[in-house]
Chain A
């Protein structure tokens, strides 16, 4: 006989255990995040002084900073983003406005998703094969190409997604006013989707600014300050990798400072992108 009142004891115990597990899982994730952020701050702040921004990477035992790596990383990311935004926005536009459900469109969309989640170290290998090996030299430019190849699929995907959200009536209105298709896309569709497209670009930037694996054998590293992207270029992730695994305390301190810088940048950009995405559209 089924009791009409409270559920049976076993059901209640099962329910309580299940709810406790969900709470605990979430708690665990938050504890992990807090632990990582705490180590970053407590270890990183100690190494963060003016030298970090003004001096180049030192020889062991001497004073130095990360200036060359910071500048190198910024240059490579900017070049990569310029290329990735051009390719990504145009490709996303093609998928949304021209291809839609055509067979070729489906193929491109699928392969873009594959590229989006392909291991980043393979992108590094690919750029090494087509860029570094034939030209017989590591260069910052090769690093930019690798980073660009990682950012472009992200931008393509988000661009297509936000363009598809734009109402058809908007397109019809523009065309009815006599605007050619390209102007409709440029001045109406892109304009009304610009917030979402910016979010996508920011997320892509956040993704590549911490990428290490594709730079290991494309940009390599450079101990000195240099603005020349045709030569091996210092960059934060590779410097952190080399210094963290070194035996010198001052190098390790710099590695923590660099890790704090990168994490702070990435997390700030991620939060900014999310806030931008949530902002209600002005109309």
Chain B
């Protein structure tokens, strides 16, 4: 594709061409500013978190002690909480998102396609803090009464099931946070999946139908293999969102430090710990440990997002 810059290389300079350089420099400057912002973000987190890494060394990553009184900080509890909630959220959201995407592409009556598509988009537009309030005041009481209590009452004492479902039945905790997160990432995964499914050439699907396949068989044997790489990318993108989500989780995870002991127990994620404590952090070690946590979160999400972009990009070029 020819760019304007190339096309502009006319033999005689156009009137006002002197400003070309200036305009290009402005555009270049804006692009570089974005680059600098991301670079600055990483460097500032590294500098701010350095005292914590220096003071606690490897134990910062292995210890789950988070004790502002004795000034001992370890990230393991928050990192575990982050990974567990994000993974659970993904497990819940993935099949549902896939179902929605297939519904919108294959099954939806044309008349309903736009309203339902808009509804899913709106679900993505609701601010995180609204999810948090709804989770805490509406979802948690319902969840405690209709899910937690029955499960905890029916769990046989001494079994593994009992161990992973102990906790205070107040509706808050790891599992509740994961469910709210799942609702939040659902529309993003569904929207990307839908885009991917729409890239499948009609002939390919029609041939499969023509051979007598059912919708399920077309999806399983034709559609999924066709979009596989991109779909994994979409999933990673959803995972990236779940990892960094802050406000909704802060409302409903219960905010307890240390390793989460069961799916109903209170816990914390990296983002919720920072949100809760940073403005009131006492002393340099506390502040620095929180920033170090931020750097860990950045590295985790960066890895996930980079992989996602790579996979989605490959699909788009295929």
Contact = CB atoms under 8 A, between A and B. Distances in A.
Interface of A: 7, 11-12, 14-15, 18-19, 21-26, 28-30, 32-33, 35-36, 39-40, 43, 86-91, 93-95, 97-100, 107-108, 110-115, 117-123, 125-126, 128-130, 149, 152-153, 156, 168, 171-172, 175, 178-185, 189, 206, 209-213, 216-217, 220, 237, 240-241, 244-245, 255-256, 259, 262-263, 266-267, 270-271, 274
B246 A266 contact: no
Interface in B114-140: 116, 118-123, 125-134, 136-138
B27 A93 contact: yes
B294 A122 contact: yes
- Describe A's contact surface by its main secondary structure: helix
Given A33-B122, A178-B15, A156 B34 contact: yes
Contacts of A153: 34
B160 interface: no
Interface string B172-195: 000000000001001100100000
Contacts of A178: 14-15
Interface in B241-285: 241, 243-247, 251, 271, 274-275, 278-279
17 contacts: A39-B138, A86-B30, A91-B27, A97-B27, A98-B28, A108-B31, A115-B38, A117-B240, A118-B302, A121-B274, A130-B40, A156-B34, A181-B8, A185-B23, A213-B247, A213-B271, A263-B126
A144 to B, nearest CB: 14
A207 B246 CA distance: 14
Contacts of A86: 30
B26 interface: yes
A149 B125 CA distance: 19
Nearest to A35: B138
B297 A25 contact: no
- Describe B's contact surface by its main secondary structure: helix
Contacts, number: 298
Contacts of B96: 25, 28-29
A267 B245 contact: no
B23 A114 contact: no
A36 B124 CA distance: 12
Interface in B1-36: 1-5, 7-8, 10, 13-17, 19-20, 22-24, 26-35
Interface residues of B, number: 102
Contacts of A128: 278
Interface in B74-104: 95-100, 102-104
Contacts of A28: 96
A114 B305 contact: yes
Nearest to B115: A30
Contacts of B219: 18
B14 A32 contact: no
Contact of B4 (A23, A129, A185): A185
Nearest to A24: B99
Given A94-B30, A120-B244, A267-B122, A25 B41 contact: no
B44 interface: yes
Contacts of B318: none
